[in-house]
Amino acid sequence: MQRPDVFSLHAALANHKVEYMMIGKGAAIVQGYSSTTQDIDIYPAKRTGNCERLLSALKELGFVFDIESDGLCQAPSADILAAKDFIQLKGPFELDIVFAPDGFESYEEALPMKRLVDGFPVMSIEGIIRTKAAAGRKKDLNDLDDLRLFAAWLKNKEPKNAQE
């Protein structure tokens, strides 16, 4: 398995006009957070056409659906088309598709947390903190203090007004 390739993922999703944002630690890393991750987490909009475009983009990237490989059933394409809450994919890289992240009732509710960083649509650090706190998993809770410090650092780094 290759390393997570955020560049090829973003290019394919953009080419297929998929509405999404990166979430999780990968999104924090894109914003400058110092850490590592083994996978990429994305939060796509649940709209039917968007799910169809997402499936096409993933197939283009080399993810395989609806067949058995080495006795293990790969993810059914129906899960993506139905916007199943959480889908883990292994293929060219590890990808988690989260249609229902903790802390948000809908993609539309999360939209104010969406940022473009170097062309990548990512959830803001505040949004990432919200999802990790709501998830309540030990590994997520362990990240919260560092993410809050990073959020404070980012806030202090921003210019106070346009003349600074």
Percent of the chain at pLDDT > 70 equals 90
CA separation for the pair 89, 35 (Å, rounded): 22
The answer to whether the beta carbons of residues 91 and 40 sit under 8 Å apart is no
Question: In what side-by-side order are the strands of the sheet with 120-123?
Answer: 86-89, 95-98, 40-44, 20-23, 120-123, 114-117
Task: Please write the tens of the pLDDT for every residue from 19-28.
Answer: 999 999 999 9
Residue ranges covered by each domain of the chain: 6-124
* Residue linked to tokens 């650090």: 125
For residues 152-157, average pLDDT? 90
pLDDT of the residue at 67: 72
For residues 113-124, average pLDDT? 96
Q: Residue 4 pLDDT > 70, yes or no? A: no
pLDDT of the residue at 17: 98
Q: Residue 92 pLDDT > 70, yes or no? A: yes
- The CATH class given to the 6-124 domain equals alpha beta
pLDDT of the residue at 97: 97
Tokens representing residue 132 in the block: 């990790």
CA separation for the pair 148, 125 (Å, rounded): 8
pTM: 0.88
Q: Residue 82 pLDDT > 80, yes or no? A: yes
- Sequence-ordered alpha helix ranges (H) in 20-124: 24-30, 48-61, 77-81, 107-110
For residues 60-89, average pLDDT? 83
Radius of gyration from C-alpha coordinates of the chain: 16
Looking at every residue in the chain, the average pLDDT score rounds to 90
